[in-house]
Structure 1
Amino acid sequence: MAGFRQQLQQLRQMIIILEDVIVVVVVVVVVVVVVVVVVVVQEVVVIVVVVVLVVVVVVVEVVVVAVARVVQIEVEIK
């Protein structure tokens, strides 16, 4: 039983690390897309739309990770 509990703990730590990696990857991809769009298309409307979309994506990502952490903590308590 103790071995199983330890594996579960390691799995949780890996998941937390993965979440952080995913956030970093998403942010990098989003920044690259914004730079490409700004360089290729130099129209104000398009740039504004892309920036708004980027902000929405980042906010959603942060909320999802925060919710995942809260759920994990609740599972650990139970």
Structure 2
Amino acid sequence: MDPFEKMSLVGLRRYQAIVKAQLPIAFSHALEETTPWAEKALERLQKRENLVTEAIIKLEFGDDPDLGSQVSRSAAEE
């Protein structure tokens, strides 16, 4: 089951903003601490950001794989 399946587009966008705000902090900790837990936390946060982005794309554009992959590539470039 998709954890973001029941969220609205507005809720997903808010959650995405929160995750993106946490990324620099997690990256900084991973660089400073150089411990496995800091690196794992950064990896989990990046994975969560990708899942949220995919959920937003799916909600906005449906299940069209071609359109979704085009949007994913342009979002990754930002």
Q: TM-score, normalised by structure 2?
A: 0.48
Which structure would you say has the larger Rg?
Answer: 1
Q: TM-score, normalised by structure 1?
A: 0.48
